Amino acid sequence: MDTITETDVASAGKVSFLLTCPNCGTREVTDFGYGGEISSRPRERPTLKELGEYNYFRRNRAGVQREWWFHRSGCRAWFIAERDTTTNEVLLTELPREPDGEGAA
């Protein structure tokens, strides 16, 4: 899931921005690994078409999307960011919440 490497970012030149880890604070994006856009999991027994779409299709939105990031040079936590893909402006970062039903009565 490590799709952006430090070499990629350095060779891209202008692709640099700051991300705020919910645990550690603001760091250069090179501290983090990109985990891809957040997509909803298919139901328990998906059809092959649903499974294929989940595995291989991305919206690749031009604008604000929710995505997974991993603080690989820090606390090694996974967290969620809302980022405008056209400007790399990060609107928020947060730790993921427990799935619904976890610990529920």
Can you list the alpha helix ranges (DSSP code H) found in 1-105? 6-12, 48-56
Q: Least CB distance from residue 24 to Zn ion, whole Å?
A: 3
Is 19 an interacting residue with respect to Zn ion (CB under 5 A)?
no
Instruction: Please select the residue that binds Zn ion; options are 18, 38, 75, 92, rule is CB under 5 A.
Output: 75
Among 35, 69, 71, 83, binds Zn ion (CB under 5 A): 71
User: Does 70 interact with Zn ion (rule: CB under 5 A)?
Assistant: no
Q: How far is the CB of 28 from Zn ion (least distance, A)?
A: 12
CB-based contacts of 83, cutoff 8 Å, min separation 6? 64, 65, 67, 89, 90, 91
Among 19, 21, 29, 81, which residue sits at the site for Zn ion (rule: CB under 5 A)?
Answer: 21
Q: Which tokens in the block code for residue 75?
A: 């606390």
Look up residue 57 and give its DSSP letter.
-
List the one residue out of 29, 36, 102 whose CA is nearest residue 65: 36
- Applying CB under 5 A, the residues found at the interface with Zn ion are 21, 23-24, 71, 74-75
